[in-house]
Amino acid sequence: MALSIGIVGLPNVGKSTLFNALTRAQNAQAANYPFCTIEPNKATVPVPDKRLSALVSIAQPQKTLAATVDFVDIAGLVRGASKGEGLGNQFLANIRECAAIVHVVRCFDDENVTHVDGSVNPVRDVETIETELILADIQSLEKKAERTRKQAKADKAMSALANEMDTLLAHLNSGKPASSFDKPFSDAMTQAVNELGLISAKPVIFCANVDEETLMALADNKENDHVKALKKLASERNAESLIICAKIEEELQGLPESEQLELLSSYGINESGLDLVIHKGYNTLGLISYFTVGPKEVRAWTINKGDKAPQAAGVIHTDFERGFIRAEVIGYNDFITQGSEAACRSVGLLRTEGKEYIVQDGDVVHFLFNV
């Protein structure tokens, strides 16, 4: 299960610069004019996890496999994008494929950096993007609702579904995203929404892109008005937010790890932008990692928080879930303290768990199955 994150925002707010920094790919062109990105840049990156490194140092495996995150840099959206303005709505389809959205918002003033609307206003910029996403969802849902109404003439069961769609349409037409719709969906409606991939239903992480001066001020707990406005908006939407200087993050690439940490520390930062975005993404989507450890391979696996052992096993292979017998589990801290599976077993720290066991973040697991 790979986490997929779409990076969106107005043109020229630092999306491609951030993408380059996050993916270390340096393959997304960045320039000081709108629509620099005309095709979605995609990259798969390993999830930074110090726990994986610690397990590898103990097991000394032949191969190490980290969990991964897919990043997609979506071309800048402008007012009217849902109707074909700017580069059109072809890029909205790319967002539908993502599990979460990182909405990059410019939160610094610089007359040398062009803003598509002529001024910096985080709340206005967020609302511009939100409106286009909602309008795109309205178009998709209206087409689906129309087909459902036609089916309802011959199938009365479809009538209730059509009514649900109309209720959601009314909500969207009021300017509110699907994520704020507070009425429970029927199973049929849930399936329809999932199939449509409604963009405004996806969880959003608001990313304030600041300049070096603002970053230095933040080290002294001094936020500019733009950052304050964005954080307030994120709080009102019960969404995660973070602050990144995309320019600094890009400068980190190519430096040795010690120098990266030194540069971040000089700005009062102890975590890279990549770490921040991934941690926020995992929290937002309710994801955790467990590990499999052996002489051939140490690997991190991504699952949903609350998944039971058979479901977690199914991430490795469907046969593991179908023929699940039991799981042998060691807590991460116990494994590190004892230094091996054998040592954990000898002191009773290896547990045998059944089908109802809820896998915990950091568990070291060995599955037994039979098909």
pLDDT tens-place string over residues 26-46 = 444 444 434 334 345 788 888
In a domain, 58, yes or no: no
Q: Tell me what pLDDT residue 36 has.
A: 39
In a domain, 337, yes or no: yes
Q: Tell me what pLDDT residue 116 has.
A: 79
Q: Tell me what pLDDT residue 76 has.
A: 64
Q: Tell me what pLDDT residue 275 has.
A: 87
The Cα–Cα gap between 112 and 133 comes to 29
Q: Tell me what pLDDT residue 80 has.
A: 58
Do residue 209 and residue 243 come from a single domain?
A: yes
Do residue 220 and residue 161 come from a single domain?
A: no
In a domain, 289, yes or no: no
Q: What's the Rg (C-alpha) of the chain?
A: 23
Do residue 105 and residue 37 come from a single domain?
A: yes
- The boundaries of the domain holding residue 351 are 306-369
The Cα–Cα gap between 360 and 332 comes to 10
**Given the structure tokens 């975005």, which residue do they identify?**
277
Do residue 99 and residue 156 come from a single domain?
A: no
Do residue 209 and residue 260 come from a single domain?
A: yes
Residues forming a β-bridge with 48: none
Do residue 206 and residue 82 come from a single domain?
A: yes
Q: Tell me what pLDDT residue 254 has.
A: 76
In a domain, 234, yes or no: yes
Do residue 217 and residue 194 come from a single domain?
A: no
Do residue 15 and residue 149 come from a single domain?
A: no
Supply the pTM of this predicted model.
0.85
Q: What is the CATH number of the domain that holds 191?
A: 1.10.150.300
Q: Tell me what pLDDT residue 161 has.
A: 92
Q: Tell me what pLDDT residue 83 has.
A: 58
Q: For the chain, list residues with pLDDT below 50.
A: 25-39, 85-88
Annotated binding site: 12-17
Q: What is the CATH number of the domain that holds 365?
A: 3.10.20.30
Annotated binding site for ATP: 12-17
Number of domains the chain contains: 3
Q: Tell me what pLDDT residue 19 has.
A: 83
The Cα–Cα gap between 281 and 99 comes to 9
Q: Tell me what pLDDT residue 166 has.
A: 94
DSSP string, 55-115: HHHHH--SEEE--EEEEEEPPPP-TTGGGT-TT-GGGHHHHHT-SEEEEEEE-S--TTS--
